[in-house]
Structure 1
């Protein structure tokens, strides 16, 4: 086996482990199964992606683990109209993407994803993302 293919495989394995670590951590934080936590992560990241300016969206994506970045960009339509920017619209978008479930408090679930990002993304980038959101939505972010 050539060195190049071995390095590529090792990188792929590491990427899978990183993504799995994020999902496991989120599942533990919200007390859900890993498949549900993965769905939540996808729903929140994709809603954030559509909420942020193109520059902020790209800056945040650069700090995501490679497979999580794939989830972030999955189904992205850069020509789609920007959604409304209220906290309620954000929550409705996450809920619609996740699948409505009356048992879930989406404020708590979204906040758990924001806390996960807060632990893994640089402080400067998180501050920029948080500050680009309306104050009502920023209330779901953990405070330093």
Structure 2
């Protein structure tokens, strides 16, 4: 009987290599810890992105990690408009680490993925985040004293950035839906779907009052 190679061996090896790079940047030999932090980073960043951007970023990941990335994803509920404080608390909870350790851990994963992904890919992802959250993902921490002086102004700027980003995403979706491209889908149906998606993006940012 001819021996057949494991068809998943290459995918498994690539995922292990990515995990090793992540562990190296985290400064640990504990691969369970490295996996937990990497998984948390992937899920929280994923949920902050629009569907199109999340899918585009997923294409950068090796097959096994792509499955981890998509686990539990609900496209109809994204993007979630959370700030750095919310990110820190949820990251700490899901990764089972102290909130004080989140900036360093998140920054280490970002550095690892920046080295592993195509050049500029993470810059594109981070450009869709408010400045305070970008700082957190890049390993910056804010002291209590600094936060007390800057939080109101920073929150206002983050809110404005989010509004501009939501409008940009909605317009982009509409533009793609109205493009005159060869497709088996009727143009009217494509435009209607684009309008629904744009509306969903805007509602996700400004939910109606109840």
TM over 0.5: yes
Q: Please give the alpha-carbon distance, in whole angstroms, between the structure 2 residues aligned to 1:107 and 1:18.
A: 26
- Indicate the structure whose relative CO is greater, using CA pairs within 8 Å and at least 6 residues apart: 1
Q: Please give the alpha-carbon distance, in whole angstroms, between the structure 2 residues aligned to 1:22 and 1:131.
A: 23
Q: Give the gaps of 5 or more residues in structure 2.
A: 140-210
2:75 corresponding residue in structure 1? 78
Which runs of structure 2 are paired with 1:16-31 in the superposition (5 Å)? 16-31=12-27
Which runs of structure 2 are paired with 1:1-144 in the superposition (5 Å)? 6=5, 9-10=6-7, 12-32=8-28, 33-80=30-77, 82-99=79-96, 101-102=97-98, 105-139=101-135, 140-141=137-138
What is the CA deviation profile of residues 111-136 of structure 1, one whole-angstrom value per residue up to 9, with x for unaligned ones? 01111110011123222101011111
Decide which structure has the larger Cα Rg and report it.
Answer: 2
The count of residues paired between Structure 1 and Structure 2 equals: 137
Q: Please give the alpha-carbon distance, in whole angstroms, between the structure 2 residues aligned to 1:16 and 1:28.
A: 18
Contact 1:130 1:141 in 2 (8 A): no
Q: Give the gaps of 5 or more residues in structure 1.
A: none
